């Protein structure tokens, strides 16, 4: 497999669409479409920039989950608190801002931040980091009029039931599953 070239085909406000031309393992050209949150200057820049963060937040022995309407699937799903880093913003500052904006909560302690990983490798070069934090405070709605988010902490038993009956983003589903297995949260 070898990338032969790339061309931007659409420049949206938040997503840029690119068409990649590959030489497949049979030696034939193949066109492949991707989206990116970043302006990609060339093939060497694919997947190089971290865009934001997903936050796995705990309070005592409970896990934070958001019930939010997602336009891309036209329904309410369970998700993690997440968002895009602003220009020049550190990952720690992004974590604090996004947690506050989406829930009203404060970061009590950052437990761990994983190295960057790809969010949707089938169609995007978007890279984010996953942060594990302890949160505190009171829930408040600081979201824009374009977001519908209800945040709540759930016990392991509640999360286990939700996993059987509700729809999740894949990242939230994995975090929720492992939360139900852990002994200390």
Give residue 143's pLDDT band: very low, low, confident or very high (50, 70, 90). confident
Supply the mean pLDDT for the chain.
95
Task: Compute the distance between CA of residue 116 and CA of residue 26 in angstroms, rounded to an integer.
Answer: 32
Instruction: State both tokens at 53.
Output: 């963060």
Task: Compute the distance between CA of residue 106 and CA of residue 158 in angstroms, rounded to an integer.
Answer: 23
Residue given tokens 């968002």 in the structure block: 83
- Cβ-contact 159, 174 below 8 angstroms: no
Give residue 142's pLDDT band: very low, low, confident or very high (50, 70, 90). confident
Q: For 95-140, how does the pLDDT look when each residue is reduced to its tens digit (9 = 90+)?
A: 999 999 999 999 999 999 999 999 999 999 999 999 999 999 999 9
Q: For 16-51, how does the pLDDT look when each residue is reduced to its tens digit (9 = 90+)?
A: 999 999 999 999 999 999 999 999 999 999 999 999
C-alpha 77: how far from its chain's center?
14
> Which residues are CB-neighbours of 148 under 8 A, at least 6 positions away?
68, 69, 76
pLDDT above 70: percentage of residues in the chain: 98
Helix (H) or strand (E) run with residue 4 in it = strand 2-11
> Which residues are CB-neighbours of 99 under 8 A, at least 6 positions away?
55, 57, 81, 105, 106, 107, 133, 135
Instruction: State both tokens at 112.
Output: 């761990």
Q: Classify the phi-psi angles of 101: left when phi > 0, otherwise alpha if psi is within -120 to 50, otherwise beta.
A: alpha
Q: Please state the pTM of the whole predicted model.
A: 0.92
pLDDT of residue 177: 97
């Amino acid at each position: 497999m070898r990338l032969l070239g790339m061309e931007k085909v659409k420049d949206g406000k938040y997503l840029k669409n690119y068409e990649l031309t590959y030489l497949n393992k049979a030696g034939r050209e193949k066109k492949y479409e991707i989206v990116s949150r970043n302006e990609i200057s060339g093939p060497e820049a694919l997947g190089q920039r971290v865009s934001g963060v997903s936050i796995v937040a705990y309070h005592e022995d409970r896990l934070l989950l958001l019930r939010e309407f997602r336009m891309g699937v036209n329904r309410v799903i369970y998700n993690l608190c997440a968002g895009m880093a602003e220009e020049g913003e550190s990952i720690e500052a992004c974590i604090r801002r996004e947690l506050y904006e989406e829930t009203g909560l404060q970061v009590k302690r950052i437990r761990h931040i994983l190295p960057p990983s790809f969010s949707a490798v089938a169609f995007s070069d978007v890279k984010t980091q996953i942060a594990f934090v302890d949160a505190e405070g009171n829930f408040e709605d600081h979201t824009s009029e374009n977001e519908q988010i209800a945040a709540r902490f759930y016990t392991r038993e509640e999360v286990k039931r939700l996993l059987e009956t509700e729809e999740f983003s894949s990242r939230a589903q994995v975090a929720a599953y492992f939360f139900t297995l852990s002994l200390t949260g």
